[in-house]
Chain A
Amino acid sequence: MDDLAALPVQPATAAVPILDIQGVGKRFAFGAETITALSGATLRIPKGQFVCLIGPSGCGKSTLLRMIAGFETASEGTLLMAGRHVAGPGPDRGMVFQDYGLFPWLTVRQNIGFGPAARGRPRAEVAATAARFLEMVGLTRFADAYPHQLSGGMKQRVAIARVLANQAEVVLMDEPFGALDAMTRENLQQELLQIWESAGLTIIFVTHAIEEAILLADRVVVMSPGPGRIVADERVPLPRPRDPTGVEFNALRRHLAALLGSQH
């Protein structure tokens, strides 16, 4: 079974999307009942795309993200990462958790260098990588602080840098800025866009906020609950930087709000 999963199912050509999600669903046993958290989700995500998932609470956004990360196995459908079956978590898919998930016993520098160090990269290389990403997220001054000494926004920066330093191709973000104040959130949104553009990342970003989705994404996937499924898949054709007060921005916002509103 494991051997089979390791075989490429499709040749890795440019036409293969980095993530190919085909009819994926997830059922949880809940006592005697079964809860269908998600069903029939199909998404093809090309390399380099910035995708936002929006939808009301309980529609399966986190579940989908966690299946892509390999933390949960799909109850139905297939999940391919660069043409290979997702068989578990791996460094090609980095997750930025809403609650950060930093290692409290490591300094900021060590947290950022954790992935390369854990995979046995030479010490000098780990140090150089950590220094580079410390600089990128503007935390050089706090390199030797421990997570409990940081603010929420700083912790979220460390979480992002940790995934980037590990050279993740796909970055999965589950409401990463949900707990932050508006100012910090705006700063981090801008930084994330810069990093995304310069590093050629593929990002799947879960959010509750329509505005955040339109501000960031190439493509907004709208989900609906009971059971969780994908109900719309909209392109955002606006050039960056985007103006949240612009006419087109607001037209799109109303359109997505209507999609979300019509679910009830």
Chain B
Amino acid sequence: MAAALGRGLASRQALLALAAPVLGLLAWHLATAGRPYSLVPPPWDVAVQWWDLAFGGVWDDLYSATLLDHTLASLGRVYGGFALAALVALPLGMLIGRVAVARDLLDPSLQILRPIPVTAWLPLAMIVFGIGPRSAFFLVFLGAFYPILLNTVFGVQSVEARLFEAAAMLGVSRQATFWKVVLPASLPSIFTGLRLGLGFAWVVIVVGEMTGVQTGLGAIIMEARQLSRTEIVISGMITIGLLGFLSDRLIQALGRRLLRWSPQHG
């Protein structure tokens, strides 16, 4: 009975979640179909273009069946930049959060750099790293860096004092406290930082790839705009949206496994 009710609820939820995109598609279709001078192509044309981009066999032009290459290039930059950001931001955040000297030394500088939007770094990145994938990689790194850093600092700083007392009276040495208490207690925050960071990485990748990169989803979007191939622009956007969504789902599933103990995540 309860299970049936649960299934009923789940399908109701799925139905509601689908309602908005279906209505959106319908509106899009009605607004664009059969108007040759519309700036935005109708959904069906985009779907055909996406298919050609992914598998070929429709237009058989320069773009046919190239989606996988572009996707892999973007994925590499997103996850590479994200991984590098995590590699730097996690230990740095733990240091800043727990060691007063590190905090006094680094925190002011990082706070001043933080309000500079990632996009404002683009020209400098192009000067330093040249026009090419390295600039994109750097921007992704930067975009993912701050959410991870700030949440890690917050996490390791907001460990309940009671837990330190509990560990101390159970015989945990001062050196072991970090691994036994600080790290596990701050995992939920760290995890939130990683999730936000990965989200930002997907936002920034497009900007990063819009300048002089040959492959990547951002690159074809930009290139297709110049060629007025709006179907490709929208296909690229949809692909990025789907990948970002899947990527977030993946990290969320990982979090649910690791943070089963946390009432907010479990």
Give residues in A with beta carbon < 8 Å to B. 69-71, 88-91, 93-95, 97, 99, 101-107, 114-115, 118-119, 146-148, 162-163, 166, 168
Contacts and interface: CB of A to CB of B under 8 A. Distances in A.
Given A101-B163, A103-B163, A114 B170 contact: yes
Main secondary structure of the interface of A (DSSP, over half): loop
Given A97-B162, A103-B163, A148 B261 contact: yes
Given A89-B165, A97-B162, A101-B165, A146 B266 contact: yes
Contacts of B260: 146
B118 interface: no
B117 interface: no
B169 interface: yes
A91 B170 contact: yes
A173 to B, nearest CB: 12
Contacts of B261: 104-107, 146-148
Interface residues on B, range: 20 to 34
B164 to A, nearest CB: 9
Interface of B: 160, 162-163, 165-172, 176, 180-181, 184-185, 187, 260-263, 266
A69 B169 contact: yes
A257 to B, nearest CB: 32
Contact of A118 (B160, B180, B184): B180
A91 B169 contact: yes
Main secondary structure of the interface of B (DSSP, over half): helix
A94 B266 contact: no
B166 A166 contact: no
Contact of B172 (A99, A107, A118): A118
B244 to A, nearest CB: 29
Given A101-B163, A104-B261, A148-B261, A94 B184 contact: no
A95 B168 CA distance: 10
B170 A162 contact: yes
B166 A97 contact: yes
Contacts of B162: 97, 99, 101
A118 B163 contact: no
Contacts of A162: 170
Given A103-B181, A118-B172, A162-B170, 5 more contacts: A95-B165, A95-B169, A101-B162, A101-B166, A114-B170
Nearest to B166: A101
A88 B266 contact: no
A65 to B, nearest CB: 11
Contacts of B184: 103, 105-106
A90 B169 contact: yes
A23 to B, nearest CB: 24
Nearest to B264: A148
Nearest to A89: B168
B262 A119 contact: no
Given A103-B184, A105-B262, A146-B261, A115 B165 contact: no
Given A105-B185, A105-B261, A148-B263, A89 B169 contact: yes
Contacts of B266: 146, 148
Contacts of A95: 165-166, 169
A3 B171 CA distance: 19
Nearest to B162: A101
A98 to B, nearest CB: 10
Residue among B165, B171, B184 having the largest count of chain A Cβ atoms under 10 Å: B171
* Smallest CB-CB A-B distances: 6 pairs: A91-B171, A89-B168, A115-B170, A101-B166, A146-B261, A105-B184
A178 B1 CA distance: 40
Nearest to A94: B169
15 contacts: A91-B170, A91-B171, A94-B169, A95-B169, A99-B162, A101-B160, A101-B166, A103-B185, A105-B184, A105-B187, A118-B167, A118-B176, A119-B171, A148-B266, A163-B169
